[in-house]
Amino acid sequence: MKFWVVGDSGTGGAMQKAVHEGMQKYMESLKLDFYIHVGDMAYRSGTDPEFSRNFFNMYEPTLRNTVCWASMGNHEGQTSSGETQKGPYYDAYVLPTKAEAGGLASGTEAYYSFDYANTHFICLDSHDLDRRPLGAMAMWLKADLQKTKADWLVAFWHHPPYTKGSHDSDREQQLIEMREHIMPILEASGVDAVFTGHSHIYERSMLIDGAYATPSTNQGVVLDDGDGDPKGDGAYKKSAGLAPHNGTVQVVTGHGGTGLRRKSNHPLMSKVIMLHGSMIMEIKGDKLTGEMIDVHGAVLDTFVIEKGGKVTRSIVENPRAPKLIEPEPKAKSSKPHSMPKNYSNVIPRGATWHYLAGAKLHPAKGWASAPFDVSDWKLGAAGFGYSDKDDKTDLDMKNKYSAVYIRKEFTLEAGTDFSALGLGVSYDDAIIVYLNGKEIVRRGVDSGAGSKAKGFHTHEAGKLEYFPLGANKKLLKPGVNVIAIEGHNAGIGSSDFSLDPVLILKK
C-alpha cells in the first residue's frame, strides 16, 4: 500500500498548492491507496468556508478518488468539539464509530481505528479530550490494541510527543500528556510509526522506545541512532509482528503549507528539515518505507523499517546529534537583454537538438559536457513544448513530468571572436544553461539543478530574450563545443511549456 501523510497545510496559499503538486509529481502514474491528514487542514478556525477554500478546493484532484483519514487539529477545534462531535470538522468527514473499517468500535468519530491490508491504523484526538490513562480514549485504545492481529501498527494525531519546531513538547500540556500517557500504551503494543503535526517543521526520530520523561532526553531510549536509510546507515530492524518495545519512529509532518519555524534540534531526531513537503509511505510485506517529499517531488529523507524473526534491541549510548537541512541560498539569476539587430547564426531557430524528456527521466552526470553518450536521447527540432502553436517538437508532459533537457554540439572556427557569442531563448517557465559543462545562465530556478532543482518561478514565453556569453569566452575553444539547457515548468500541471533557443555571433 502507498499512502500520503500531510499536516498543517490548510492556508489556501501557494505553498500548500506546491506541496500538493510535489506529491503529484513524485507519484506521477502511481496510485495512492489513501491519505492521512494530521490536522490543521482549514486555517484559521476550521469554518465551513475555510474547509471549502483551503481543503476541498485545494486537494480536489486527489480527493476526487482518494479517501482521506483525518485527525482534528487545534484550528479545527476552534469551531468543532471532540466531545460533542459537532462542528464543521465533523460535517466534513464521516469517520467510523462502529468498527466499520476494522478495529474496535470507539462509539465516537473523535478517535477511531481502521485496517488496511496487513496494517492497523489508529487516530486519536489530542486536542480536547481526556488524555489520561484512565480516560475513555486511552481505555478504548488499550482494548483496540489487544484485539488487533496486524503485522504493522501506525498511529496518528495532531499534537507531537517530541518536537522543538514552532512548538516545544517539553512545555505544552497536550504534547506532554500524549508522550507521558499515550506513548507507553502504544509502545507496549509494538507501534511502528507515529505521525503528528502542529509544530511547523519536519522532524523524524531515530528508532526509540521509552522516551516518556519531561524534559525529553536521548539517554537510555535510543535503540538505533542510524539514519534508517538502506543507502546510508541501513534500515531499522524489528522483530516480526507487533513486538512490544521494539522501537518506534516518530514523524512530525507539520510542514504542509504554513510558515516554518524552529526553536532548536530535538535530541531524539535523526533529521530536521526546514523545507515544506509531505510524506509518502509504503508498506509492502515485511518492509515499511517512509520518504519526505519536497515541493518539487524530490526525496529529502528516507527511512525503512524491516521486520523478521526475533530482534533483540540494546540501548545506544551517546546517540548522534540530528542532521539539520535548511533551504539553500538562492542562486544568482542572469539578466536578459534585447536581441541584437545584427548577428549571424551559430545554431539557428528550428535546429535539431538531442533531448531527454519523460517521467522521472533525468540525465547522467556530465550530460552538459563533451564527450557524452546521447545514443538513448531523442532528436527533435526546436522549439520544444506543448499547448503552443509554434512548438516544432510537441511533448506529452502535462501532469506527467516538468523537466526537459536538450543539448547540441556546435563548431567555432579558429579566429572566431568568442566574446561575440550570445544566446537567444524563448522559454516557459525556467531555464539553466551550460556551456561545455559549466553553468552560465539561470532564470527562474532558485537553487539546485536537474532532479534537485528547487524554487521555480513562472514565466511566459514570448520574444527571444538575449544573454550575452562573452564573459564566458574562456570556456570556449576552436572546434567542437557543447551548449546544454534544462527547462523546467513551475508545476507538473502547468498549462504550457516552451523551450526555443538560438545561438548567435553578434556583429
Q: In degrees rounded to 5, what are phi and psi of residue 11?
A: -90, -25
Domains 2-325 and 343-506 share a fold: no
Peptide bond into 429 cis (omega under 30): yes
DSSP letter at 137 equals H
Per-position b or e across 229-260, b if 16+ CB within 10 A of its CB = beeeeebbbbbeebbeebbbbbbbbbbbbbeb
Residue spans of the domains in the chain: they are 2-325, 343-506
Q: For position 385, what pLDDT does the model report?
A: 95
Map residue 342 onto helix, strand or coil: coil
Q: What is the pLDDT of residue 328?
A: 65
CA dist., res. 490 & res. 457, Å (int): 6
Q: Grid coordinates in use for 391?
A: 512548438
Looking at the domain that runs over 343-506, which CATH code has it been given?
2.60.120.260
Q: What is the pLDDT of residue 12?
A: 94
Enumerate residues 6+ apart whose C-beta is below 8 A from 369. 434, 436, 437, 482
In the chain the first and final C-alpha atoms are separated, in Å, by 61
Tell me which CATH homologous superfamily contains domain 2-325.
Metallo-dependent phosphatases (3.60.21.10)
The x, y and z cell numbers of residue 346, run together, are: 551559430
The answer to whether residues 233 and 75 touch, using CB atoms and an 8 Å cutoff, is: no
| Cα angle for residues 469, 473, 474 (degrees, 5° grid) | 145
Judging by beta carbons within 10 Å of its beta carbon (0-12, 13-18, 19+), is residue 171 exposed, middle or buried?
exposed
Print pLDDT tens along the chain (507 aa).
999 999 999 999 999 999 999 999 999 889 999 999 999 999 999 999 999 999 999 999 999 999 999 999 999 999 999 999 999 999 999 999 999 999 999 999 999 999 999 999 999 999 999 999 999 999 999 999 999 999 999 999 999 999 999 999 999 999 999 999 999 999 999 999 999 999 999 999 999 999 999 999 999 999 999 999 999 999 999 999 999 999 999 999 999 999 999 999 999 999 999 999 999 999 999 999 999 999 989 899 999 999 999 999 899 999 999 999 988 666 667 889 999 999 999 999 999 999 999 998 999 999 999 899 999 999 999 999 998 778 999 999 999 999 999 999 999 999 999 999 999 999 999 999 999 999 999 999 988 899 989 888 889 999 999 999 999 999 999 999 999 999 999 888 888 999 999 999 999
Integer Rg of the chain from CA:
26
Burial of residue 57 (number of CB atoms within 10 Å: 0-12, 13-18, 19+): exposed
